[in-house]
Amino acid sequence: MKAVVFHEHGGPEKLVYQDVPTPLPGEDEVLIRVKACSINHVDIWVRQGIPAYKTVFPHISGCDVAGMVEAVGKNVAGINRGEKVFVAPGLSCFRCAYCLSGQDNMCIAYKILGAHTNGGYAEYVTVPAINVLTMPNTLRFEDAASFPLAFLTAWHMLITRAELKAGQEVLVLAAGSGIGTAAIQIAKLAGAWVIAAAGRDDKLERAKALGADEVINYRREDFSNKIREFTGGKGVDVVFEHVGPETWEKSLTSLAKNGKLVTCGATSGPEAKTDLRYIFSRQLSILGSMMGTRSDLLEVTKLMEIGKLKPVIDSVFPLNEARKAQERMLERNNFGKLILVPS
């Protein structure tokens, strides 16, 4: 089969479109013919090389996959060749105490498809049968590949971790990213008042179209000061943070007393400066969030199926242009998801 692989860590130039052996499904696995795969920041982090991911070379990235069942392992029941499916990107054991208590994203053996294993930048991919879900018939393959990781993560951050309530005020940073466009929709669905921040005016216009109540160009304005202006000096109840040191200090000073900052990533680097006096004096909460549970994903899928949440796709690239697609993400030119389809 054709796949995009990298043989060593480095920049986008390390991505190579080449022939690799087509994988065979194990006894409890499903072989999927990939019809669409979206790009996520984790693809870039793994390619660049970070200690949390022990990469085996050559590596195939791609967490979000939609396609058709090509073959199933001998122990697999209820999944048939030709079915349209998408993949839950979190790989859990469903046997440990965390999994059995509904916290499968805390699994002691947790992995992410395409990060810890080979993923969907290919014509075929094998995944555990338990991760194969029926694709909503209201979605195209590109749509089904665009939402699982981003919407799952945003839902877990806002609804599960931050416990966002109707009437609360929330700041969504990097609002033009895949996860940012998901967060705007989820926060509005929860009844929150949403302030979206991005670095380009065209992205802010599109954020407004998605439902943002106010917008801030954080390359032109100090977003912490602007938040105070919007909220009469109070600050927001929740900050949706995934940028890292570039925005961290201002994210904290944007919070109201008893406010919550919830974070799932660090696209601008791993280390941020925190004034602890500000945390305890204002009784702030800093919440970490990692992916989401299967229950979260099923809830998001239902809302996606009935149109309460909508995929936001920036552009679609042929598989052999994966490098160009990743470069577009690195340049922050996208609004929504970047999708790869087999060439």
Which string of DSSP letters, residue by residue, matches 2-51? EEEEBSSSSSGGG-EEEE-PPP---TTEEEEEEEEEE--HHHHHHHH--T
- pLDDT at position 267 is 86
pLDDT in tens, the chain (343 residues): 999 999 999 999 999 999 999 999 999 999 999 999 999 999 999 999 987 788 899 999 999 999 999 999 999 999 999 999 999 999 999 999 999 999 999 999 999 999 999 999 999 999 999 999 999 999 999 999 999 999 999 999 999 999 999 999 999 999 999 999 999 999 999 999 999 999 999 999 999 999 999 999 999 999 999 999 999 999 999 999 999 999 999 999 999 999 999 999 888 888 999 999 999 999 999 999 999 999 999 999 999 999 999 999 999 999 999 999 999 999 999 999 999 999 8
Give the ranges where 156-247 is alpha helix by DSSP (H).
178-189, 201-210, 223-230
CATH topology of domain 2-147+311-341: Quinone Oxidoreductase; Chain A, domain 1 (3.90.180)
2-147+311-341 and 151-288: identical CATH topology = yes
- Strands of 122-213 (E only): list them: 124-128, 132-134, 169-172, 193-198
Q: What is the pTM for the complete model shown?
A: 0.96
Say how many C-beta atoms besides its own lie within 10 A of residue 112's C-beta: 20
Length of the chain: 343
Domain boundaries, the chain: 2-147+311-341, 151-288
Architecture of domain 151-288: Alpha-Beta Complex (3.90)
Number of helical H runs and strand E runs in the chain: 11, 17
CB 96, CB 34: distance < 8 Å: no
> 51 is written with which tokens?
């200690």
What is the enclosing helix (H) or strand (E) of 141? Answer: helix 141-146
- pLDDT at position 29 is 98
Phi, psi of 82 (to 5 degrees): 95, -10
What would you measure as the largest C-alpha separation in the chain, in angstroms? 63
Q: How far is CA 334 from the centre of its chain?
A: 14
> 147 is written with which tokens?
């939402």
CA 198/CA 79 separation, integer angstroms: 42
